[in-house]
Chains A and B, each alone.
Chain A
Amino acid sequence: MRRMLAIAWKESIEIMRDSRTLTLAIILPVIMILLFGYAINMDVDHIPVGIADLDHSRESREFQQKLFSPGWLQKKTEHTNLEFLEKEMQRGNIKMIIVLPPGFAVSLKRADTAQVFAGIDGSDNMSGSMSMAYFQTFLALYEMRRMELLYGIDRDRAPGFESLPRIFFNPELESRYFVLPGIIVLTLAVLSALLTSISIAREWERGSMEQLIATPVRPWEILYGKLLPYIGISMIQLTLTIILGVFLFGVPLRGSLLNLFLVSLLFSVGALGLGLLFSSVIKVQIIAMQVSMIATLLPSVFLSGFIFPIESMTPIIQAFTYIVPAKYYLVMVRTIFLKGSGFAAFWAEAVFLFVFSMIVLNAATHKIVKRVA
């Protein structure tokens, strides 16, 4: 125990004296939160659209006006030549092409079926599919209003079924609520592993490991001694990000702060342990860091369920996500922040994370060989 504390004490001094790294480690999460709190908006807005109004009627202009006035779709170009519009799309200047064919107004007036053509850029799904969904909704409403005007149909009386959606926890579907917890998780996941990934490799490269081996210090004492100060840094990072998220961006923290810190503690032990594991297996700083970067950055972005739903992944890939600790942590952070529920809601995740951390720490302890075999 005293030896472990000695290691922790030494490690802390080293961290504090390397002020650049310490500053970066603390400033980085703050910058991330600030940047993404402002930048990320999942709602599709201002999608540039090219329109070909071949009808040139009062109705078609009115249709256009109604379509573009909410600002979701934005008229970028108007041209009667479809080929011109297609070129524009290829250049990436517009994401959607809408064609109002000749006779649009006439068909509407005659209560015939008027045709509308819409093409989207399939290479950019984000704007593509969402603008199409928006256009469909617009058409349905447009039609409904016309129906009411023409026939006086009262929609509520229409037979069939109707869904009454109620959205819990985030009724306005504020993307900020959804994104900020994710950013907290990503930042902690990557930074933790990066910070510790060098710490054992550095002892090998410096030659001090040889010296440590000759002392009575046990592998677990080295490992946990190194873990302690970094847990401190993680907690500082977490505190800063929570403060910014709650007070600056108004993300509600509905659950218990204590729970948030508890699960974060659990998570940072696992994430830091992962870095230590890489470090003790690889023994060379440069490679250990590259491996941690590769093993944490993209997986935390892609496989954590942050943006891309895990449920949609193929079973093999889903199985792979079990070793991405950010996945568990994300569920817990979102739950605590937005739902306010306690451990009953995420005990499974907590257990997974605990098991993950234990396995990682154990493996790392075993990999800190006390003797060069």
Chain B
Amino acid sequence: MSLVAQNLSRHFKKAQAVKNVSLSLQPGEIYALIGPDGAGKTTTLRMLAGVLSPDSGIVEMDGSLLLKDESLRSRLGYMPQAYGLYADLTVTENLYFYGRLQGMKNAELRERSRELLSFVRLDKFPDRRAGALSGGMYKKLAIACAIVHRPQTLILDEPTNGVDPVSRRELWQLLFELSHHGVSIIISTPYMDEAERAHRVGVMMDGTLLAEGTPKVLLSALDGLLLKTEKISAAVLRDILLDHASVYPVGTGVHILSGSETDARKAIKILENKKVASRFQKPGFEDVFMYFSGGGDAGRFRSQP
């Protein structure tokens, strides 16, 4: 267990941002926290990184309290959502700066930065100002800065947000390589499709962790519960099905999620009577989220890029 959080709670002014969240990371594991904007993902990650102190609950690393033991911070890499690189510093200078803050020596840094820049494929631009990098390159440099000191735990807040699909795939390749070397990684993302790539997924909504498990296990919970129809609006479907199932638009069609297999069959019958074609559908993480949040608020998700 490299990182353990127990019963974390935190409020801002009157709003309860995080309620009683517990989770833990295994060495070499990639854990994805999914949920819509405002679910409490960022607050949770900031507490895990020791940047924000919880109202109650504890964060432990290797058996010591993170907020008590300053030396633990050098085993931790953190990349906040709005990552602040120094625009006036070059790629290499940014790396050196964060390395030095972690107590690394110049000789060590020279080698490490060469290695890292080729790792994140920025080796062609060591002297470019960070301010002149493209969005994807900027994120990759940010990750490089977060791992310059070889942390054993890496916390990334929405690393793929605002990044083109190619760079996103590259970013995930980096994460896989890191995890392969034993680094435990926790990331948050509003994109449901990304969750499938993680080893474990936590579903967050309104400050609570609704469900947790491997992608396979979470998806299998929906076996036989999900139908898909096309060419009909969600509102019309809701009128037809009334309270028999929850209905929400996904991609080109509308998904119908039933509470049980019998309900699902009932729904098919009703739809057949109305001459609406429907078929069983292989669930994705958006459906997983709807399922665990009890048909929650799909509108709060960001559309996939």
Residues on B with beta carbons closer than 8 Å to the beta carbon of A206? 84, 86
Contact B101–A213 (Cβ < 8 Å): no
Min Cβ gap B128→A in Å is: 13
Contact A207–B51 (Cβ < 8 Å): no
Judge whether B166 is part of the interface by a CB distance below 8 angstroms: no
Query: Which of A17, A214, A218, A372 is B88 in contact with, Cβ under 8 Å?
Result: A17
Judge whether A293 is part of the interface by a CB distance below 8 angstroms: no
Taking residues whose C-beta sits less than 8 angstroms from the other chain, chain A's interface range is 20 to 34
Selected interface stretch from A1-9, A122-130, A157-165, A318-326: A1-9
Judge whether B224 is part of the interface by a CB distance below 8 angstroms: no
Judge whether A217 is part of the interface by a CB distance below 8 angstroms: yes
Min Cβ gap B215→A in Å is: 28
Known contacts A211-B78, A214-B76, A215-B73; A2 and B86 CB within 8 A of each other: no
Contact A216–B84 (Cβ < 8 Å): no
Q: Mark A206-225, 1 if CB is under 8 A from B, else 0.
A: 11111111111110000000
Min Cβ gap B144→A in Å is: 13
Q: How far is the CA of A3 from the CA of B99 in the complex (A)?
A: 9
Known contacts A10-B93, A371-B50; A216 and B100 CB within 8 A of each other: no
Query: Which of B71, B82, B96, B146 is A207 in contact with, Cβ under 8 Å?
Result: B82
Contact A210–B84 (Cβ < 8 Å): yes
Q: How far is the CA of A10 from the CA of B90 in the complex (A)?
A: 11
Judge whether B235 is part of the interface by a CB distance below 8 angstroms: no
From 1 to 32 in chain A, residues with beta carbon under 8 angstroms from any chain B beta carbon are 2-3, 5-7, 9-10, 13-14, 17-18
Inter-chain CB contacts under 8 Å: number: 90
Q: How far is the CA of A14 from the CA of B85 in the complex (A)?
A: 12
Q: How far is the CA of A212 from the CA of B100 in the complex (A)?
A: 12
Contact A213–B51 (Cβ < 8 Å): yes
Judge whether A55 is part of the interface by a CB distance below 8 angstroms: no
Contact A211–B88 (Cβ < 8 Å): no
Q: Chain A: which residue is nearest B71 at the CB level?
A: A216
Judge whether B70 is part of the interface by a CB distance below 8 angstroms: yes
Judge whether A203 is part of the interface by a CB distance below 8 angstroms: yes
Q: How far is the CA of A211 from the CA of B50 in the complex (A)?
A: 11
Judge whether A373 is part of the interface by a CB distance below 8 angstroms: yes
Contact B89–A10 (Cβ < 8 Å): yes
Residues on A with beta carbons closer than 8 Å to the beta carbon of B93? 10, 13
Judge whether B103 is part of the interface by a CB distance below 8 angstroms: yes
Residues on A with beta carbons closer than 8 Å to the beta carbon of B85? 208
Contact B53–A216 (Cβ < 8 Å): no
Min Cβ gap A205→B in Å is: 8
Contact B88–A18 (Cβ < 8 Å): yes
Judge whether B74 is part of the interface by a CB distance below 8 angstroms: yes
Contact B98–A215 (Cβ < 8 Å): yes
Contact B50–A207 (Cβ < 8 Å): no
Contact A216–B102 (Cβ < 8 Å): yes
Query: Which of A3, A6, A13, A203 is B84 in contact with, Cβ under 8 Å?
Result: A203
Contact B100–A2 (Cβ < 8 Å): yes
Judge whether B67 is part of the interface by a CB distance below 8 angstroms: yes
Interface positions of A (Cβ within 8 A of B): 2-3, 5-7, 9-10, 13-14, 17-18, 203, 206-218, 371-373
Q: List 13 A-B contacts (CB under 8 A).
A: A2-B100, A6-B97, A7-B101, A14-B89, A207-B82, A208-B83, A211-B78, A211-B84, A214-B73, A216-B74, A216-B103, A371-B50, A371-B53
